């Protein structure tokens, strides 16, 4: 989608997504020792803001100017300090080995662009840091509910794991996510990895 299309979607509602942090994020990283975190495709900032309340020093990056403005407004209202940045994620270059946690949640872009984004996200992870990716799995098209309909922008855990150079894969699988009002669950890919500490 074009930036103006995302801006229009975000402008049309109070919260395009839930104001609460993602449930899988909470279960995967809630017990980590806070440090520096990078939230790529942060949207309206719900995950970045939650991390900041736990003591993380967070940078949240999104393509949509409207989403970033809404995230900044909420942070100001709630007195939470997060550095929200508006940038094209296909071109964004985070500092290398600067973050103890890197999140890529529901960033669905063409496969021709995805690998380079994931490689830069991997490079941003500090030694012994945690990388977490979550998004709509390709099997969701036939066996799940909701989400994008273009298979090229959907995930497969093994493909994502191959796009994370220098990281040790701790988990690469699918998870089921209940969707309000739907008979079936949505199917997501989850990949968790870490950068090994120097020996």
Position 129 scores a pLDDT of 98
pTM of the model: 0.92
Q: Quick check: 44 pLDDT over 60?
A: yes
Pair 103, 47: CB distance under 8 Å: yes
- Quick one: pLDDT band at residue 111, thresholds 50, 70, 90? very high
User: Average per-residue pLDDT in the chain?
Assistant: 91
Block residue for tokens 């994370």: 164
Q: What is the mean pLDDT of the segment spanning 96-114?
A: 95
- Quick one: pLDDT band at residue 152, thresholds 50, 70, 90? very high
Alpha carbon 95 to chain centroid distance?
A: 17
Q: Quick check: 80 pLDDT over 80?
A: yes
171 Cβ partners below 8 Å, 6+ apart? Answer: 190, 191, 192, 193
Phi, psi of 167 (to 5 degrees): -105, 150
For 117-139, write each residue's pLDDT tens digit: 999 999 999 999 999 999 999 99
Block residue for tokens 């992870």: 125
Position 183 scores a pLDDT of 86
Output DSSP code: residue 157: H
Q: Quick check: 2 pLDDT over 80?
A: no
Higher-confidence position of 39 and 5: 39
Q: Output Rg (C-alpha) for the chain, integer angstroms.
A: 16
Higher-confidence position of 83 and 184: 83
Phi-psi region of 121 (alpha: psi -120 to 50; beta: other; left: phi over 0): alpha
Output DSSP code: residue 154: S
């Amino acid at each position: 989608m074009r930036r103006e299309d995302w801006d229009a979607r975000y402008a049309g509602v109070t919260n395009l997504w839930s104001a609460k942090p993602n449930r899988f994020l909470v279960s995967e990283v809630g017990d980590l020792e806070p440090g520096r975190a990078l939230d790529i495709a942060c949207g309206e900032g719900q995950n970045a803001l939650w991390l900041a309340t736990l003591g993380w020093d967070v940078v949240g990056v999104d393509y949509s100017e409207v989403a970033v403005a809404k995230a900044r407004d909420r942070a100001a209202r709630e007195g939470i300090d997060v550095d929200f940045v508006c940038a094209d994620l296909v071109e964004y270059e985070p500092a290398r080995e600067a973050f103890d946690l890197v999140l890529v949640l529901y960033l669905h872009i063409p496969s021709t662009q995805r690998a380079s984004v994931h490689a830069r996200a991997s490079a941003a992870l500090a030694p012994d840091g945690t990388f977490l990716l979550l998004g709509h799995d390709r099997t969701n098209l036939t066996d799940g509910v909701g989400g994008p309909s273009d298979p090229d922008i959907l995930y497969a855990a093994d493909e994502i794991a191959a796009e994370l150079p220098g990281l040790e894969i701790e988990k690469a699988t699918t998870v089921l996510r209940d969707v309000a009002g739907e008979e079936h669950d949505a199917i997501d890919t989850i990949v968790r990895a870490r950068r090994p500490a120097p020996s």
